[in-house]
Amino acid sequence: MWSVVSETEVTTAPRPLLLPDGRPAAGAWSLDPAMKHLNHGSFGAVPLVAQERQNALRAEMDRSPVVWFPALPQRVAATRAELAGFLGVAPDELALVPNASAGASTVYAGLPRRRGGEILVTDHGYGAVTMGAERLARRWGGTVRTARVPLDADEEQAYQAVVGEMSAATDLVVVDHITSSTARRLPVARIGAEAHRRAVPLLVDGAHAPGLIDAPLEGITCDFWVGNLHKWCCAPRGTATLVARGPLRELLHPLIDSWGADDPYPERFDQQGTVDATGYLAAPAALGFIERTWGWQTVRRYMDELADYGAQITGAAFAELTDAAGPVDVGMPVPGMRLVRLPEGLAANRVEADALRDRVARELGVEVAFTSFGGAGYLRLSAHVYNTAADYEHFAEACVPALGEWARER
């Protein structure tokens, strides 16, 4: 196993976490062993126990649909309470939605039209959520203002960059808890306190926060927060949370109007026509599996140490090719994800980044995320419990030289 020596620190790879029977943690997932999986952040990965739980629930649904569906709202409500406990919020604050995009769309659909209609976002915002804000601004006859946060901004700089763009004209603030393309935190607690002081509604996009941050809403004042359970919590896909606090939450309705329409928030979200809600019901199986097997704290520490190691060895391999590439200081890092600057010419925009992701999967057998920010391309590394140091060593040895060649060919 490698040890990376930089000017200031030595990073050694953390010892892999094992299953109780001594097998590697990856044995609890069904990921293709012929591929390397270094991109947990995009779409997550569901452990077998949660897949089995969802399959059993589906079988139950299909055995007796007429028994299943009328009883479903009560089961969803019970699951909601369990998931609220995991996130450290009150059950009456949390609604279940299919994904973070649906949560943001719900907020955009529920907010009343504002005169002026200026929506403040940041240049780190998730593209689809920012596009939703732009569409809302068009509906309001308003505009979107973008706060520019330097990639390496520390807490104070990031706070000033966002708050410096708030004004009497601001009608809604949308800010990421953990950013997607730049894998960093934004100071949402301080931004929330200031938005609250100005009585401006705040939507926090916490898509990546559940699982990565313990009790993610602790100390945060916000009207709306969305978080995916199908990313770091490893729940089945289509499983996300919308947390809403304060009087505005009564304006929120599920995107699918259904029989719960006259119920208060969040009960009205427990029934959304005839949908397959087995993902929600199986989500606690994923959370419980990780807690019982290793404990979330241990897993977070492992992910963080492994991501550090991965960024250092891949960064060092890139830096050997060109001075312009290597690990990146993102100011407020997150456990489990790291950013590494790519050689010039790779992944300069989102379309190129996605094409590079597809080529690396196809030709090099590695699933990894590439992102772009400010015209530069980045490798966004993820580390989850099923990853080991060997995954990143493989990337550094086999993929970095290929990427260097592809950059030179351009």
Ligand X SMILES: Cc1ncc(COP(=O)(O)O)c(C=O)c1O
By CB under 6 A, the residues from 13 to 42 that bind ligand X are 42
CA distance 340 to 336: 13
- Backbone φ and ψ of 207, nearest 5°: -50, -40
Shortest reach from residue 222's CB to ligand X, in Å: 15
Which of 105, 122, 180, 278 is in the footprint of ligand X by CB under 6 A? 180
- Burial bucket for residue 330 (CB in 10 Å: 0-12, 13-18, 19+): buried
Over the window 132 to 171, marking each residue x when it contacts ligand X by CB under 6 A and - when it does not, the resulting string is: ----------------------------------------
Shortest reach from residue 163's CB to ligand X, in Å: 20
Rule CB under 6 A: say whether 183 interacts with ligand X. Answer: no
Which of 93, 118, 171, 176 is in the footprint of ligand X by CB under 6 A? 176
Rule CB under 6 A: say whether 208 interacts with ligand X. Answer: yes
Rule CB under 6 A: say whether 126 interacts with ligand X. Answer: yes
CB of 243 within 8 A of CB of 220?
no
Shortest reach from residue 355's CB to ligand X, in Å: 18
For ligand X, the closer of residues 129 and 285 by Cβ is 129
- Map tokens 């100071």 to a residue: 187
**Beta-bridge partner residues of 372:** 377
CB of 84 within 8 A of CB of 94?
yes
Which of 79, 105, 130, 228 is in the footprint of ligand X by CB under 6 A? 228
Which of 49, 83, 129, 202 is in the footprint of ligand X by CB under 6 A? 129
For ligand X, the closer of residues 99 and 271 by Cβ is 99
Over the window 72 to 101, marking each residue x when it contacts ligand X by CB under 6 A and - when it does not, the resulting string is: ---------------------------xxx
Shortest reach from residue 64's CB to ligand X, in Å: 31
For ligand X, the closer of residues 99 and 388 by Cβ is 99
Shortest reach from residue 176's CB to ligand X, in Å: 5
For ligand X, the closer of residues 76 and 129 by Cβ is 129
Ordered DSSP codes for 321-344 = H-TT-EE---SSBBTTEEEEEPPT
Which of 93, 118, 205, 304 is in the footprint of ligand X by CB under 6 A? 205
300 CB contacts (<8 Å, ≥6 apart)? 212, 214, 335, 336
For ligand X, the closer of residues 133 and 366 by Cβ is 133
Q: Within its chain, how far is the Cα of 26 from the centroid?
A: 21
Helix axes 65-87, 278-293, angle to 10 degrees: 40
Rule CB under 6 A: say whether 278 interacts with ligand X. Answer: no
Please give the DSSP secondary-structure letter assigned to residue 175: E
Which of 107, 144, 191, 207 is in the footprint of ligand X by CB under 6 A? 207
Q: Which two tokens stand for residue 200?
A: 């401006």
Query: H helices within 213-263, ranges in order?
Result: none
Q: How many CB atoms lie within 10 A of CB 159?
A: 20
Half-sphere exposure of 343 (CA within 13 A, CB side): 21
Rule CB under 6 A: say whether 308 interacts with ligand X. Answer: no
CB of 238 within 8 A of CB of 228?
no
Nearest in space to 277 (alpha carbons), one of 295, 296, 260, 291: 260
Binding site for ligand X (CB under 6 A): 42, 99-101, 126, 129, 176, 180, 205, 207-208, 228
